[in-house]
Amino acid sequence: MSKYESVIGLEIHAQLLTESKIFCSCSTTFGNEPNRNICPVCTGQPGVLPVLNKKVVEFAIKTALALHCQIAPYSIFARKQYFYPDLPKDFQISQYELPLATNGYVEINVNGNTRCIRIHRIHLEEDAGKLVHAGSDRIQGSTYSLVDFNRTGVPLMEIVSEPDMATPEEARAYVQEIAALLKSLGVCDAKMEEGSLRCDGNVSIRPVGDKNLGTKTEVKNVNSTKALKDALDAEIVRQIKAVDAGERIIQETRHFNENTGQTISLRSKEEAHDYRYFPEPDLVPLEVSKEWIDEIKQGIGELPAEKIKRYVEQFGIKTEDVETILESPGMAEFFEGAIRLYGKPQIVANWLTGEISAYLNAKKLEIKNSKLKISTLVGMLALIDKGTISGKIAKEVIVKMLDTGKSAEEIVKESGATQISDEGELIKAIQEVIKNNPKPVQDYKDGKKASITFLVGQVMKVTKGRAKPDLVNKLLEKELS
């Protein structure tokens, strides 16, 4: 990868979370019996008319606003014509000239660097049907195929990026960012493994520093962000090998095989792409007024990127902590609730991203389904502040709170894990430590002041962490002088 650099652009297809299809009233429910969610419109019977689902347009406008796009005041639909068994009308209703939105951007974070990825366009279209291949588990080697049109006409929003990504890691981060955004907007559930979010990668290589783009290939068939990264990595390696061997890269579609980790060329019977787009005569133009956009804008809650910015600015907590909090469903609400009661955002964040996240991840739990309540967490933090328990003890207490749902006070009372506030009791422990550690004591008296740290540690051990370190330090100094 030294002589060459890669250039990546992505096309994301997102299934929109509507109840009905984009141009007819069939249900979009997944998993029904084959060809149950079909009607004369989506199967392209003669004489039928498609009618646009208003919610589909609203979802796309929402997304376009979140991606800082320009929304076209006037856009139209077009017929994209090709022959494939999953396409009953022999054309797909899509947008070609005059798409709904153009010229946006999204910011992504990769290894601590923020990168801005431009969005070329967002347009609406209908999904195709599903093919089941017989005689083989894949299209290769199958003897015939079966077509289920339940998915035909499910609304798709295509988000096309500019070729702004330089590495497969950036491509992965971009898809993760878009998926998080679509989920938070409530327009798509963005499950790549179930196909509700699909991604094709366009990738090319060029000598480092070259301004011209190399010939690209399109990589398909990835069903996770990891598979996308692996597929792009493999395709870049393949292209470099080919160019180094004096071959020419052919513009083509390549499928990623997750088992072999390779991309393979798929030669189908399909004619070279010549879609002969023309305006869809059955659908009237779409005009989006400023008032409509403003109305939709008001319905958009705080976006993930805005929330991160606000948490960092308003609460002064670390960006990586905010990201951890936002990744966990319901944790942001918990965080804000705890701050309202308790203040001290960084301390709350440390507990949420530390012990509490570790516990939830291990048990595969969401915080709202756990036994921890905002009030009990705040109660525990108050016990630390009062000096009743040490931070170290609190780490054990929080696990018990998560296990049992009890308050910190109850747990502390039951286990007797309160801090020792009686100085007499502490001095007894300190004297014992001094007696058992003559060497460090002598070192301290000889001027090696640092050895007191060791002695404090020993006292903590003897008291099982129930002593307050700064008090132990003070008392030790007194005893040793």
Residues that bind other proteins (CB under 8 A): 18-20, 25-29, 33-40, 43, 45, 51-57, 76, 81, 83-85, 98, 131-133, 139-140, 142-149, 266-269, 271, 274, 276, 279, 281, 283-287
Q: In terms of CB distance, is 146 or 208 closer to other proteins?
A: 146
Task: Determine how many CB atoms are found less than 10 A away from the CB of residue 340.
Answer: 10
CB distance 151 to 157 below 8 Å: no
Q: In terms of CB distance, is 19 or 432 closer to other proteins?
A: 19
What minimum distance in Å lies between the beta carbon of 379 and other proteins? Answer: 46
Q: In terms of CB distance, is 26 or 203 closer to other proteins?
A: 26
What minimum distance in Å lies between the beta carbon of 1 and other proteins? Answer: 33
What minimum distance in Å lies between the beta carbon of 266 and other proteins? Answer: 8
Q: Which two tokens stand for residue 418?
A: 């309160």
Identity of residue 359: Y
Q: Which is it for the CA torsion 102, 108, 110, 115, positive or negative?
A: positive
Identity of residue 229: K
Q: In terms of CB distance, is 41 or 381 closer to other proteins?
A: 41
Look up tokens 């088992």; give the residue.
259
Distance CA 322, CA 312 (A): 8
Q: In terms of CB distance, is 34 or 195 closer to other proteins?
A: 34
What minimum distance in Å lies between the beta carbon of 70 and other proteins? Answer: 19
Q: In terms of CB distance, is 165 or 286 closer to other proteins?
A: 286
Distance CA 379, CA 341 (A): 10
Q: How far is CA 297 from CA 59, 199, 291, 294, in A?
A: 11, 27, 10, 5
CB environment 205-244: b (16+ within 10 A), e (fewer): bbeeeeeeebebbbbbbbbebebbbbbbbbbbebbbeebe
Q: In terms of CB distance, is 78 or 411 closer to other proteins?
A: 78
* Nearest of 437, 430, 439, 410 to residue 476 by alpha carbon: 430
What minimum distance in Å lies between the beta carbon of 54 and other proteins? Answer: 4
What minimum distance in Å lies between the beta carbon of 97 and other proteins? Answer: 8
Q: In terms of CB distance, is 206 or 254 closer to other proteins?
A: 254
For helices 408-415 and 374-386, give the axis angle rounded to 10 degrees: 50
Q: In terms of CB distance, is 45 or 404 closer to other proteins?
A: 45
- H or E, element range at 401: helix 391-404
What minimum distance in Å lies between the beta carbon of 220 and other proteins? Answer: 14
* Nearest of 474, 473, 477 to residue 444 by alpha carbon: 477
What minimum distance in Å lies between the beta carbon of 72 and other proteins? Answer: 13
Provide the 3-class DSSP secondary structure of residue 359: helix
Q: In terms of CB distance, is 59 or 311 closer to other proteins?
A: 59
DSSP 206-236: EETT--S----EEEE---SHHHHHHHHHHHH
Q: In terms of CB distance, is 145 or 257 closer to other proteins?
A: 145
What minimum distance in Å lies between the beta carbon of 277 and other proteins? Answer: 11
Distance CA 126, CA 26 (A): 13
Q: Which is it for the CA torsion 150, 152, 154, 160, positive or negative?
A: positive
CB distance 6 to 216 below 8 Å: no
CB distance 196 to 14 below 8 Å: yes
What minimum distance in Å lies between the beta carbon of 148 and other proteins? Answer: 5
What minimum distance in Å lies between the beta carbon of 38 and other proteins? Answer: 6
